[in-house]
């Protein structure tokens, strides 16, 4: 897909809400190059991983700049739902946030509030990248930011499940991510295909679908993505920059062995 055919990043929230199939990957390396490469390939979004990778505010800022340069939506997995963590990435031009361990209605409401101006408590600044460094007028910036910011709650704790219908129903939560890895560890299950994990996944999917909220999930590849798509998921995270590099490198190494044999 050429750059002039690609949707603009400011429509990402609309496409997510419309349940268009969207492809993304995690960015684990605190550098601009992985974002540039993934963006140039036409991925719909990247997830800059502040929670489990060594991103600080400066390296995150550069990753967001690279995403903007390639026309790719940049979602940041913030380390927490702290308003400070959220504000810094939204001011830096992030398309949205992926927020870990949203397990109660109160947490969901606080998260939604931290991401919005008019209906929330987001601290105002129009002198950041998000505000065009002062180019946007105050209320134009408020309206655009509230319309475009995508808020995805990660459901990855067993104690979130009894409250899941109320969590997904919170206004301002645009969708949910099913955290199968954390759920597997929290339940002490042998793997993420264990019955208890499948039941948890079914519970989340039913609640999100009933609330009309899109579902994001990390998948191993196209076969698993198709299976989840049939169940209602529409946004898919495949591997990471490091995972994709490792897979390609391992294949190259295996191919090279044929010369020796």
pLDDT digits (tens, 9 = 90+) for 50-94: 999 999 999 999 999 999 999 999 999 999 999 999 999 999 999
Residue 1 has pLDDT above 80, yes or no: no
Output the CA torsion sign for 154, 218, 97, 27: positive
- What value does the mean pLDDT of the chain take? 96
Homologous superfamily of the 3-256 domain (CATH): Phosphoenolpyruvate-binding domains (3.20.20.60)
Averaged pLDDT, 87-111: 98
pLDDT digits (tens, 9 = 90+) for 177-209: 999 999 999 999 999 999 999 999 999 999 999
Q: What is the pLDDT of residue 4?
A: 53
Confidence of residue 126 (pLDDT cuts 50, 70, 90): very high
- Range list of H helices, the chain: 12-17, 32-40, 57-70, 83-91, 105-115, 138-148, 164-168, 180-187, 195-211, 222-231, 241-260
Residues with a known catalytic role? 52
């Amino acid at each position: 897909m050429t750059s002039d055919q690609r949707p603009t990043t400011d429509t990402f929230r609309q496409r997510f809400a419309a349940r268009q199939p969207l492809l993304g990957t995690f960015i684990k390396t605190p550098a601009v190059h992985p974002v540039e490469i993934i963006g140039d390939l036409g991925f719909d979004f990247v997830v800059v991983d502040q929670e489990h990778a060594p991103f600080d505010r400066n390296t995150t800022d550069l990753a967001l700049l690279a995403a903007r340069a390639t026309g790719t939506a940049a979602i940041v997995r913030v380390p927490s739902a702290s308003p400070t963590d959220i504000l810094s990435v939204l001011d830096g031009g992030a398309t949205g946030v992926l927020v870990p361990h949203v397990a109660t209605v109160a947490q969901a409401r606080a998260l939604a509030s931290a991401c919005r101006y008019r209906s929330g408590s987001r601290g105002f600044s129009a002198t950041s990248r998000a505000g065009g460094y002062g180019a946007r007028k105050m209320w134009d910036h408020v309206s655009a930011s509230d319309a475009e910011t995508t808020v995805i709650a990660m459901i990855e704790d067993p104690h979130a499940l009894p409250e899941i219908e109320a969590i997904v129903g919170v206004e301002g939560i645009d969708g949910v991510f099913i955290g199968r890895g954390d759920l597997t560890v929290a339940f002490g299950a042998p793997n993420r295909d264990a019955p208890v994990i499948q039941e948890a996944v079914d519970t989340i999917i039913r609640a999100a679908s009933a609330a009309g909220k899109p579902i994001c999930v990390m998948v191993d590849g196209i076969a698993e993505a198709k299976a989840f798509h049939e169940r209602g998921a529409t946004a898919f995270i495949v591997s990471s920059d490091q995972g994709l590099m490792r897979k390609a490198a391992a294949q190259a190494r295996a191919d090279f062995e044929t010369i020796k044999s």
